[in-house]
């Protein structure tokens, strides 16, 4: 954990407390243990988990450096908790909602929440398309985030309906991020968004480029979006 803590400090300027280090160590052990029974992640070595899951998730905070930090955040397609759970460990006051359509992934997230005694975390098994039309969730969050869930035109239809006007969505993307964002220009406009920034991120020892794509919510999303389950992926807004 020493190197990880140093990496966090170098990249994000934050010194992890002993309690936070212990939380990440526990999260890592549990992820390794559960992975032998369920296929939660393809990354199976401690160093990979620390850099490509934990540190990568934490880089989201670079996106809200120059604006008001969010109070509430929804993570769509969280899988084994990325990026939502590492962000929750780093920022204890954040209200985090983790969403995935697959029950066993949510079961793992619930386990981590219990073991680490994290408060103000809500776990929902469901689809982004359903939550986006549910008044309890629609336009309720300061930030909606996602990593490795869908192409940008699809992702904006998952995320933007959940963000309150004045909030933002954040997509964690690889090398294709800028081109995907260009291809989503029309979808962003239709859904009430405006591209704010594309921020490159460099992880120590990782050659692949990473990008944080930040899209502000300028105006309310039209009621017809998100469309019914499956349609955004099948017929992305062109
Ligand atoms: N964000 C995690 C997991 C990525 S895998 C990470 O970066 O490691 C993509 C996850 O998104 C899967 O667990 C899948 O079940 C979930 N998913 C895909 N489409 C979804 C949708 N429309 N609604 C909710 N979850 C979805």
Q: What is the pLDDT of residues 174-204, one digit of tens each?
A: 999 999 999 999 999 999 999 999 999 999 9
Is 234 within a domain? Answer: no
Q: Give the residue, by CA position, lying nearest to ligand 1 atom 3.
A: 79
Confidence of residue 92 (pLDDT cuts 50, 70, 90): very high
Q: Give the residue, by CA position, lying nearest to ligand 1 atom 16.
A: 77
Is 212 within a domain? Answer: yes
Q: Which domain holds residue 16?
A: 2-227
Q: What is the pLDDT of residues 53-89, one digit of tens each?
A: 999 999 999 998 877 889 999 999 999 999 999 999 9
Q: Cα–Cα distance between 234 and 177 in angstroms, integer?
A: 20
Q: Cα–Cα distance between 166 and 67 in angstroms, integer?
A: 11
Is 238 within a domain? Answer: no
Q: Is the minimum distance from the CB of 180 to ligand 1 under 6 angstroms?
A: no
Q: What is the pLDDT of residues 13-58, one digit of tens each?
A: 999 999 999 999 999 999 999 998 888 888 889 999 999 999 999 9
Q: Is the minimum distance from the CB of 78 to ligand 1 under 6 angstroms?
A: yes
Is 106 within a domain? Answer: yes
Q: What are the structure tokens assigned to 42, written together?
A: 């393809």
Q: Give 129 Cα–ligand 1 centroid separation in angstroms.
A: 12
Statement: residue 148 has pLDDT above 90: yes
Is 60 within a domain? Answer: yes
Q: Using alpha carbons, select from 128, 103, 85 the residue that is nearest to residue 40.
A: 103
The pLDDT of residue 37 is 86
Is 19 within a domain? Answer: yes
Give percent of the chain above pLDDT 70: 100
Is 108 within a domain? Answer: yes
Is 233 within a domain? Answer: no
Cα 168–chain centre separation: 12
Domain count, the chain: 1
Query: The CATH number of the domain where 124 resides is what?
Result: 3.40.50.150
- For 98, 100, 102, 145, the CA distances from 131, given in Å and listed in that order, are 12, 11, 15, 14
């Amino acid at each position: 954990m020493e190197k990880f803590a140093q990496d966090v400090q170098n990249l994000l300027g934050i010194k992890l407390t002993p309690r936070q280090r212990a939380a990440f160590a526990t999260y890592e052990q549990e992820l390794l243990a559960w992975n032998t029974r369920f296929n939660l992640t393809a990354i199976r070595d401690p160093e990979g988990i620390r850099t490509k899951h934990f540190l990568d998730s934490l880089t989201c905070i670079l996106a809200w450096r120059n604006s008001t930090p969010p109070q509430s955040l929804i993570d769509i397609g969280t899988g084994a908790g990325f990026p939502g759970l590492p962000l929750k460990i780093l920022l204890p006051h954040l209200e985090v909602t983790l969403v995935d359509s697959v029950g066993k992934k949510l079961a793992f997230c619930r386990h981590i929440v219990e073991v680490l005694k994290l408060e103000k975390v809500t776990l929902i098994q469901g689809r982004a398309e359903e939550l986006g039309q549910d008044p309890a969730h629609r336009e309720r969050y300061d930030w909606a985030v996602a990593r490795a869930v869908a192409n940008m035109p699809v992702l904006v239809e998952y995320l933007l309906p959940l963000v309150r006007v004045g909030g933002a969505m954040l997509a964690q993307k690889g090398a294709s991020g800028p081109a995907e964002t260009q291809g989503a220009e029309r979808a962003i406009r239709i859904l009430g968004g405006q591209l704010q920034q594309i921020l490159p991120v460099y992880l120590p020892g990782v050659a692949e480029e990473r990008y944080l794509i930040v899209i502000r919510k300028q105006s309310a999303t039209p009621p017809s979006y998100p469309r019914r389950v499956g349609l955004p992926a099948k017929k992305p807004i062109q």
